[in-house]
Amino acid sequence: MRSDVTLRRLDEGLLQDLLDVAVVDADPHEVMPPVAGPAGWTDERRTAFSRFHQSRSLSAEPAETTYAIVVGDAVVGAARLCPLEGAEHAVEAGVWIGRSHRGSGVGSAVLRHLLVLARADGFDSLFVSTKPDNTASQRLLAAMGVDLVREGDSVTAWVDLVATGQG
């Protein structure tokens, strides 16, 4: 596993770096909920990106924990852990990495960091949902030895954090 990949809890300074990376190295639909209007990184989308993270992760009562993915000293993407409503001790993971850093093992390292963080936070299982055409995500999960379940337009997987944390 790559040793130069770290996760840093998001703060206002890292959020500005994250926005810069998203604008230069990712498409809006890969990194944030849809915003109406013309395609691309409009002023509205940039503002919505920052507000999204401020409300979800940097507020007094955050709904999820977001991390900046750092390679060396450079922010290259984001990872998040969001407790699942209605499922005790379960958390959903999400990741995006800038285009220029994809396909070189960063995602694999990030997933392993997320497993450690989720376990440390007391979660028993980690949920991931992706799209059928997202081969990289599915290969990341398959490497964990988990079953992938296709339902309609999504592919989901549960990682047992207790079993995968032993040995």
Distance CA 66, CA 108 (A): 17
Q: Would you list the DSSP string of 139-157?
A: HHHHTTTPPPEEETTEEEE
Single-letter amino acid code for the residue at 67: Y
Beta carbon of residue 10, minimum distance to ligand COA (angstroms, whole number): 17
Establish if 90 lies at the interface with ligand COA (CB under 6 A). no
Considering the complex, state which of residue 57 and residue 130 has its C-beta at the smaller distance from ligand COA.
130
Distance CA 3, CA 24 (A): 25
Among 139, 154, 162, 165, binds ligand COA (CB under 6 A): 139
Considering the complex, state which of residue 14 and residue 32 has its C-beta at the smaller distance from ligand COA.
32
Considering the complex, state which of residue 8 and residue 29 has its C-beta at the smaller distance from ligand COA.
29
Among 35, 48, 136, 144, binds ligand COA (CB under 6 A): 136
Count the site residues for ligand COA by CB under 6 A: 19
Establish if 141 lies at the interface with ligand COA (CB under 6 A). no
Beta carbon of residue 61, minimum distance to ligand COA (angstroms, whole number): 26
Q: Residues 151-160: contacts with CB within 8 Å, 24+ apart? A: 154/129, 154/130, 155/129, 155/130, 155/131, 156/127, 156/128, 156/129, 156/130, 157/127, 157/128, 158/90, 158/125, 158/126, 158/127, 159/115, 159/125, 159/126, 159/127, 159/128, 160/124, 160/125
Restricted to residues 26-85, the positions that interact with ligand COA (CB under 6 A) are: 30
Beta carbon of residue 97, minimum distance to ligand COA (angstroms, whole number): 4
Q: Which residues bind ligand COA (CB under 6 A)?
A: 30, 95-97, 102-108, 130, 134-137, 139-140, 143
